Amino acid sequence: MGSPYNSVNTEVSLAGLKDEIVDEYNKYINNIPFINYMISPNRARAKDRPRSDGRIIVDLCRPHILEDMEYFRPSARHYEQYGCYTRLRPNPNPNSEFMHWFKEEVNRIWYGYVRPSDGEWIPGEMYFYLNYCPIQIARKVAGKKQS
């Protein structure tokens, strides 16, 4: 018998747990269809989903496996690496390299971003959030009251 999990799930070890906990775990896994689908080895990937206008059609009741989501963060990766969003010199000329980059970013923010290889996409608001809204983590400094 094969594993009841798909490749993105971590297998759960029930060894050493009380029988009540194991029974409850099995009850949830077997009786809740959404949980059963999320761990199913037959769960779809983006490349297997039907498309419309180059974008996959997302089924909210049976979500597909998300892969390589770093693809949708090009500006954030550039910022993490160099400390700026672009190394291009600002230039108002409509044919300049900077304006091509700028217009492409505006289009991605307004209309979203599609990965052509498999049709995975994110809406523009999500693109803006992932690339231009840094999520900062507050860490406690030893010996100080402030984070």
Asked if the model's pLDDT at residue 70 lies above 80, the reply is yes
Asked if the model's pLDDT at residue 86 lies above 50, the reply is yes
What pLDDT digit, counting tens, does each position of 23-36 carry?
A: 999 899 889 999 98
Domain spans in the chain, listed from the N-terminal domain onward: 67-132
Cα 14 to chain centroid distance, Å, stands at 29
Q: Which residue has 């029988």 as its token pair?
A: 19
Q: Which residues contact 38 (CB under 8 A, 6 or more apart)?
A: 9, 63
Q: What is the pTM of this model?
A: 0.78
